[in-house]
């Protein structure tokens, strides 16, 4: 212990480290006494703007535990999806979000439920964050009637309240997102649209056409590139002459964000939302993140990157591990809190997996559902409004 009478003397480095370790140990286990804590955020890079998000943020105990639970559910849900695919219970396309959990959790924490979100085919995590249950997501993947699109959409086509889903065509959701933002502007409802795409889609021509219209009309749209480092079978460096995606909007301001830290994502998105909602027009965000699986289940993900690289990211940058350490080191959560959340998340996903295996499939009659907005094809025939008669009279 250091003597109180030796304040003017610098203590040995070892003593300083011991004192720091002691303070850290004292914080752990006292989650019932720590209700909020301030954290340093990861550095941002700005384009055509001088003032960006803050460098620090406060997280409450309730917020931290909520974020941790959400990320645990998304990670375990995707692991379950991988296992179901390998056992051939899930067929077709399947693009997993593992490693990118801080993106959807941080962004959802920054917007209102009535704000809009549209994304690409790597959409399971976002579907959960937009209010659909893990059971509905997994049941959709296995083609069950209880799925979020009644078993008819599969991995790439999931929807919810103000959630316009995944989109199977590379980059096609970006102009759609601008259209949603245009609708909000015309209605004057003060809402914004988060329009997400990947680094692979960032090279699509339709994105640049959309940037032009969005800036011309000053739409309340936030364009978000989830840059996980790799497209389908190749790295970003081999696919793009410039990988500074946050500056791709040219005349649209941009910001590059560490997408592996949930607080950094949350604060950057809050700032971007305020910018877009205030009438200044669109803004572009690039989230530097990482995917642990291949591009899809047909891609092992190891032919263009090493297993050592993947393991290194898991050890040093994993978003869930990073949040857990923040919660424990700050005293916002105890090890018992963490274990409880993990056990509850496991139980929830285990139950969802059983439903995904055993819930009923859609009946054949559902083939005729949702072809028209006003009912089935048979309904329209009964009303004398089938397609042939409509064409004959119009």
**How do the domains of the chain map onto residue ranges?**
36-366
Please say whether the beta carbons of 266 and 106 come within 8 A: yes
| CA pair distance 226, 201, nearest whole angstrom | 10
| CA pair distance 242, 284, nearest whole angstrom | 16
Predicted local distance difference test score (pLDDT) of residue 233:
87
The string of pLDDT tens digits covering residues 166-186 is 999 999 999 999 999 999 999
Q: DSSP 3-state assignment of 171?
A: coil
The two structure tokens encoding residue 160: 């919810």
Concatenated DSSP letters for 63-81?
HHHHHHHHHHHHHHHHHHH
Identify the residue whose tokens are 């604060």: 267
Beta strand segments in 61-136, E = 116-118
At what angle are helices 262-277 and 101-108 packed, to 10 degrees?
40
Query: Helix, strand, coil % (nearest 5) of the chain?
Result: 45, 10, 40
Please say whether the beta carbons of 166 and 157 come within 8 A: yes
Predicted local distance difference test score (pLDDT) of residue 3:
36
Please say whether the beta carbons of 322 and 261 come within 8 A: yes
The two structure tokens encoding residue 318: 């994993």
Strand-pairing partners, residue 255, are 46, 285
Measured distance between the N- and C-terminal CA atoms of the chain, rounded to whole angstroms: 91
Predicted local distance difference test score (pLDDT) of residue 391:
41
**Assigned CATH topology for domain 36-366:** Rossmann fold (3.40.50)
Predicted local distance difference test score (pLDDT) of residue 369:
82
Stretches where the chain sits below pLDDT 70 are 1-32, 374-394
C-alpha torsion sign, points 359, 156, 160, 288: positive
Burial of 199 (0-12, 13-18, 19+ CB in 10 A): buried
Predicted local distance difference test score (pLDDT) of residue 33:
80
The string of pLDDT tens digits covering residues 71-95 is 999 999 999 999 999 999 999 999 9
Predicted local distance difference test score (pLDDT) of residue 370:
79
Spatial CA neighbour of 291 closest among 244, 259, 268: 259
Please say whether the beta carbons of 267 and 294 come within 8 A: no
């Amino acid at each position: 212990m250091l003597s109180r009478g030796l304040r003017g003397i610098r203590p040995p480095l070892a003593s300083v480290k011991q004192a720091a370790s002691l303070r850290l140990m004292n914080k752990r286990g006292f989650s019932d006494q720590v209700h909020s804590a301030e954290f340093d955020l990861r550095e941002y890079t700005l384009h055509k703007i001088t003032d960006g998000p803050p460098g620090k943020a406060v997280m409450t105990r309730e917020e931290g535990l909520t974020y941790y639970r959400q990320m645990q559910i998304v990670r375990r849900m995707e692991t379950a999806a991988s296992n179901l695919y390998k056992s051939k219970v899930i067929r077709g396309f399947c693009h997993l979000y593992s490693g990118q959990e801080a993106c959807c959790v941080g962004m959802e924490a920054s917007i209102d439920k009535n704000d809009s979100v549209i994304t690409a085919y790597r959409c399971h995590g976002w579907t959960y964050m937009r209010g659909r249950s893990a059971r509905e997501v997994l049941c959709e993947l296995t083609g069950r009637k209880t799925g979020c699109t009644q078993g008819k959409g599969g991995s790439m086509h999931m929807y919810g309240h103000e959630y316009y889903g995944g989109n199977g065509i590379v980059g096609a959701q970006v102009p759609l997102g601008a259209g949603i933002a245009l609708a909000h502007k015309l209605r004057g409802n003060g809402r914004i649209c988060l329009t997400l795409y990947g680094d692979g889609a960032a090279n699509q021509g339709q994105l640049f056409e959309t940037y032009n219209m969005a800036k011309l009309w000053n739409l309340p749209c936030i364009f978000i590139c989830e840059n996980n480092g790799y497209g389908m079978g190749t790295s970003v460096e081999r696919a793009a002459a410039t990988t500074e995606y946050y500056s791709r909007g040219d005349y649209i301001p941009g910001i590059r964000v560490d997408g592996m830290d949930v607080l950094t994502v949350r604060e950057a998105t809050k700032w971007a939302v305020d910018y877009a909602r205030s009438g200044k027009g669109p803004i572009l965000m690039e989230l530097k993140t990482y995917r642990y699986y291949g591009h899809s289940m047909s891609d092992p993900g190891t032919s263009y990157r090493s297993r050592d690289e993947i393991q290194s990211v898991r050890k040093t940058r994993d978003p869930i591990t990073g949040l857990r350490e923040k919660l424990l080191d700050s005293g916002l959560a105890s090890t018992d809190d963490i274990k409880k959340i993990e056990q509850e998340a496991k139980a929830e996903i285990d139950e969802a997996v059983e439903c995904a295996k055993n819930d009923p499939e859609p009946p054949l009659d559902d083939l005729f559902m949702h072809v028209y907005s006003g009912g089935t094809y048979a309904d329209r025939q009964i009303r004398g409004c089938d397609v042939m008669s409509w064409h004959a009279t119009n």
